[in-house]
Amino acid sequence: MQFRRLRLSGFKSFVEPAELRIEPGLTGVVGPNGCGKSNLLEAIRWVMGESSAKSMRGSGMEDVIFAGTASRPPRAFAEVSLLTETADGEERDITRRIERGAGSAYRLNGSDVRAKDIALYFADAATGAHSPALVSQGRIAAVIAAKPAERRQMLEEAAGISGLHVRRKDAEQK
Ligand code: ATP
Ligand code: MG
């Protein structure tokens, strides 16, 4: 799976709508401290379904919404869209939006979907919010310190079988 384009609006420091094309090959994000490099990586993890506010460096998920500055009012929502292309050449646009007091909603190519559908989409492509393909600051130390069960989860993601677990859990609940 390739990422083609990232769009952000009201997400953390990206208060104004921003669009970044992601070219094939290696992409580097450079800039001074505090300019938003980690926020960009977090936006990608968030649109892929990240459910832990702590791993987004917040205390609640609404902390991803632009909080305002001395000269700018806070935003009422945050929205991130990721255009992906799968190995078969299909383009799919994943959007996640959060509104204050209303929680998160997902869209796949413009249609409302469940968080679970997004998890399956990325699990089947052997990537996802917790995929070892995304290495955040401090993550290397976390891999070393991981408990065996956590390390197994990383290996399963890498092996591309975590989609099976999501489906099994789903089936067991029915
Ligand atoms: P470093 O080089 O130090 O790792 P960085 O480029 O990774 O820096 P980030 O951590 O992505 O920088 O960005 C931090 C900035 O984002 C801070 O200025 C912080 O105030 C701002 N920020 C984070 N969350 C919000 C929010 N909800 N609303 C407004 N600004 C936010
Ligand atoms: Mg950073």
**ipTM reported for the complex, 2 dp:** 0.98
Look up residue 62 and give its two tokens: 């609404």
Is the model's pLDDT at 136 over the cut of 90? no
109-131 confidence digits (pLDDT tens): 999 999 999 988 887 776 666 66
Say if residue 34 carries a ligand binding annotation: yes
Q: Which domain holds residue 48?
A: 2-173
Neighbours of 63 (CB within 10 A): 14
Comparing C-alpha atoms, which of 31, 34, 39 is closest to residue 14? 39
23-68 confidence digits (pLDDT tens): 998 889 999 999 999 999 999 999 999 988 998 999 999 999 999 9
Model pTM score:
0.83
C-alpha to C-alpha distance for 5 and 89, rounded to whole angstroms: 15
Say which ligand is closest to the CA of 136: 2
Measure 41 CA to ligand 1 centroid, in angstroms. 11
Measure 30 CA to ligand 2 centroid, in angstroms. 10
C-alpha to C-alpha distance for 116 and 150, rounded to whole angstroms: 20
CATH number at 68 reads: 3.40.50.300
User: Would you state the pLDDT for residue 133?
Assistant: 67
Comparing C-alpha atoms, which of 92, 165, 160, 152 is closest to residue 124? 160
Say if residue 54 carries a ligand binding annotation: no
- What is the length of the chain? 174
DSSP state of 43: H
How many domains does the chain contain in total?
Answer: 1
Measure 50 CA to ligand 2 centroid, in angstroms. 18
C-alpha to C-alpha distance for 138 and 141, rounded to whole angstroms: 6
Ligand 1 pocket, CB under 6 A? 12-13, 31, 33-39, 63, 65-67
Taking the CA of residue 33 as reference, the ligand 1 atom at the shortest distance is 2
